[in-house]
Structures are given as C-alpha cells and as structure tokens.
Chains A and B, each alone.
Chain A
Amino acid sequence: MTPAAARYRVAIIGAGPSGFYAAEALLRSGQSVSVDMFERLPVPYGLVRFGVAPDHPKLKQVTKVFDRIARMENFRFFGGIEIGTTLSISALRSCYHAVVIASGASIGRLLDVPGERLFGSRQAADFVAWYNGHPEYKHHAFDFSGERAVIIGHGNVALDVARILAKTPDELKHTDIAAHALEALAESHIRDIYIVGRRGPEQTRFSAKELQEFAELADCDPVSKLDGFALPAPDASLDAEAHAVFATLRSFSGPMSARRRCIFLFGLAPLAIAGDSRVQRMLLRRSSGAGSAEVAINCDLVFSSIGRRTAPLAGVPYDEAKGVHANIGGRITADGVALLGLYVCGWGKRGPQGTIGTNRACSVETVDHVLADLPQTDDPPAHPDSLFGPAGNRIPYYVDYSGWDRIDAEEIARGAAKGKPREKLVAFDEMIATARTNIAAEPAVVTRPSRSGAQCETI
C-alpha cells in the first residue's frame, strides 16, 4: 500500500457499485495508478447496502467482489468524508490527477401534484433507506396505522416497497432489515397495497422475476386489474421480458383468502393527493381507452416511486434535462467540452437504470477515458497527505477498510444472536466507535519486533 509510488493518483467519490467497478478497472489497467475512494457514510457498498431489499440476500453477495477490489494494491478507502461539504471538489482535484464521481442519484423525483406535502405522502426512496438502516433515515417515522397504501410507479423499487409492506414479520425477521423497521412493520395495519402505473401492463419497468415473488407471499394475494388491456399479439414488437411480465400479471387472479392484497393498477396518471391535514385519497386520471375518467382510491399512505435524479455538486456542470452530471461517455463536460480530469460513472452518468452489473460496463467505459486522458493531465499541485496529515486539519476523522471490517464483524455478531445475517449499526457515533479509526488517535509511534524477536524497538 504505497500510493505515493504510483505515477497517477485518482480519487473516486462514492463507494457503491459504480465506484468499486471504476476502482477495479483502474487498478487492473496495468498503468501505474493509485485509487483513493471517498464515501460520505462510514460504511461502503452504497445501494447494495441501502437500496437492495433485505429479502434479496443473494444479490448482496456482490459485496464479496467489492471487498476483493478493496484489498487490491494501491487502493485506499476513506469513509465518512462527504465531498462537497467536508471537502470541496476543487480541493480534491488539487490533490489528484483525475476525480471520478460515482455518487449516484440521491434525489427522489416528485410527483408534482397538489397535496404532495400532506402527512402520509412519502418518497419510496426514503422508506427504502429507512428499512435498510441508513443512518440518516433511522428517525423517519412511517405511520402504518391505516389500512391502505398507494405506491405510484411501476419499477422494481415500487415492487420492493410493496413486498416489504406485504410481508409478515416471520418473512422478514431473518433478513438484515433494520430492527426499527421490523418492529414498526410488525404493528402494521396495512391490508391493501395499490401499485399504480401510468402506462399499460406491457410497458412496466419491473422485471418478471421480481413480479413472480408476489405469488409466493405468505399472507398476501396479488391481484391485477387488467380490464381493457389485451395481451399483445405474439407478433407485436415486444421482447420476451414484456411477455413474461404480462403473463405473470395475468396469473394474479386467484381466490382472495389472505389478510393482505397487492393490487396492480394500470393506465392511471396521478392528479392529486387529497385530505384534511393528512392523506385520505389518491386522485388519478385514467389515461387508457376512449376518453378519460377520474379515479379515487381512499388511502392513508402514498409512496412516490417514479425515479431519482442526481444531486448537483458545486463545481460540476449539471444536465437538468436528464438529471445527471453533464457528461459525454463519462467525461464531465461544460457546454459540450470535456473538462480534463473530471469524470462520472454509474447513475450520475446515465440516470437511474440497469442492474448492479450494468455499472461494470458503465465504469469500464468511463475509466477507458480516464486512462486515455491521464498522460495529458498535469501533476496536481497538492498531495492527498496534505488533507489528512498532521498539518492537514481539514479531515477530522475517517473510517478505513479495516475500520469497516470491524463494523462488519460487529454487525454479523449482533445478527447471529437474532438469526439474522447481520444487525446493521444505524447510528453514526456507534459506527465510528466500532470502526475505531480516528486519525488523531492513530499511534504516532509504530513498533515492530526487533531482529531477535525478544524485544521491540521504536522507529
């Protein structure tokens, strides 16, 4: 681990899938490159930890790949450092030949309808972060005292939200769902969960595989309201996936015997959320068939799940139309001209779509540009050590990967006692204390065994 020895230094902002795949591509390139990864939270993995649903444990096995990348030579992890607040982009750029932004799309898109601010109207992304134990969302309270929830959106996140609301405590208690979420959901009175999309059943964004999971719920019946939507002809230009989704939806018509129902509705565009001081009705306009009609669903909770956009970063041009950092193939651009040394990969580059592995191809493309540009970059005026060393007081502390290893071990130990794969730490101070990686507290004197092995000498 001697980053100073590498010819080029690259900083990656964000420790989610696209950041790790960018690090891998850089470190495998055969070029003399070191990578410093900066993560806002004290823990790595991004949406694999805070987005992937707790009842999808197999997907989370991808973290083994990220751990392997993190242990490659010339890689360092700096958890708990937010670029843009703790450290500016320009301060970072002054220390590195290139900076790759891999911080995703953190802002949930609003429905932009009246009543969206009523109590009971929530972002799906907030609910996901809450049940996954994101430290900034642990105090979000969700009120499950009502019986009906409406989810607006037909993507896989909408399915995650519906499934977590639909599952029984027994179905969730052996997952890594946050303890506060398991407790609150165990008291839930929700019975009817509406999953509402603007378009037809052949145009959903969710996958047949995730839809099929609704047929296997312990105490919830899935129902599709397909009236007026015909199965497209076999020769229609529909891919196999769309056909599989339609077929799965058509199978959701069995007898109703379970305590809960998930009701899939199509061709309904949101008009307004109505209620006195809190959500009481979701108003929609039927957009299919002849003419249009208004539809009202009485409900207590509304989750908006219609996508995300990237949070703008000071000093980085933004593409308002696409909701991403302005870029061409991963090179950040200002007025269409590439800014040498500044790059983006993942959702901040292409928008929030694709599977985890889509980020591998995406990051490889960006890194190809980084590697092509590195010989043209000037050596940065400052060294990263100036950010952390005794003279650099800009960074109060950070969590390195061995700190994360300690958090990881602690979480697994706490989970084992409850029959869970892990019990996530959800408080910043507890994470930091468990990681015990404090720059100020790092030993100034390192000891090593003397040649005789009998004593230690101080160096």
Chain B
Amino acid sequence: MPYVVTDLCNGCRYTECVSVCPVECFHFDDQMTYIDPENCIDCGGCVPVCPVGAIKPAHHLPADKRQWIEINRQRAAETPVLTGRLPPLPGADERKRAILQR
C-alpha cells in the first residue's frame, strides 16, 4: 500500500515531500514528483507536509484518481531520483491558494 502523488502536484512541485522522505523514493520531471512504489516504506511522512495535499495512500484514492497509481510507478521508472528540494514552479503559490479555496 504505497503512497501516490496525484495531479494536484502538477504545476506546483513544492518538493517538501522530498526533504522528509526517509528512503529517497521521490522522482521528478518538469511538472511534478512521483513516488517509486518499490522503495516507498509506507511511513506516510510526506502526506502532511505537502502544501496542496497532493499525496494520498493508494487504497484511499477515489475512482477518478486511481490511474495515478500506475502513472507513479511508470514515471518513477523513467525519471531521476530527487535527493533535495527544488524551488517551486513559477505560479505555484497562486495555484496553491486556488486549490485551498476550493
């Protein structure tokens, strides 16, 4: 039961998750981060630190988000590991405000 980064990350990519991951299981591309399900140890430490609430346990995903389980698995295999924080993407703060006001 690994954790999964969902599309809420796409466009923000705050990477707070990376700084608290004990096993460096986060990968990244230009849009967002992904969790490698083979390395995730289910500690859940990344969930509360995400500023937009983008990370969910795989078994709690609503039906319209379940495709992110496979996307995380696939993209983690194709992208490099992120070992430290990156600056958020341009416009991340505005996007976060919009998400939190929903």
Contact = CB atoms under 8 A, between A and B. Distances in A.
Interface of A: 17, 58-59, 61-62, 64-65, 207, 209, 239-241, 354-361, 364
Given A61-B23, A65-B22, A358 B45 contact: yes
B43 A355 contact: yes
Given A240-B53, A241-B48, A360 B19 contact: yes
| Interface size range of chain B in the complex | 10 to 19
Contacts, number: 51
Helix, strand, loop or mixed for chain A's interface? helix
A240 B41 CA distance: 21
Contacts of B48: 239, 241
A441 to B, nearest CB: 36
A360 B24 CA distance: 10
A53 to B, nearest CB: 13
Contacts of A359: 22
A356 B22 contact: yes
Interface string B47-70: 110000100010000000000000
A146 B19 CA distance: 46
A209 B45 contact: no
A61 B19 contact: no
Contacts of A356: 22, 43, 45
Contacts of A358: 20, 45
A357 B46 contact: yes
Nearest to A356: B22
B7 interface: no
Nearest to A64: B23
Interface in B20-54: 20-24, 41-48, 53
Given A58-B41, A241-B48, A357-B46, A17 B22 contact: yes
A59 B42 contact: yes
Contacts of B43: 59, 62, 355-357
Contacts of A17: 22
A354 B45 contact: yes
Contacts of B45: 354-358
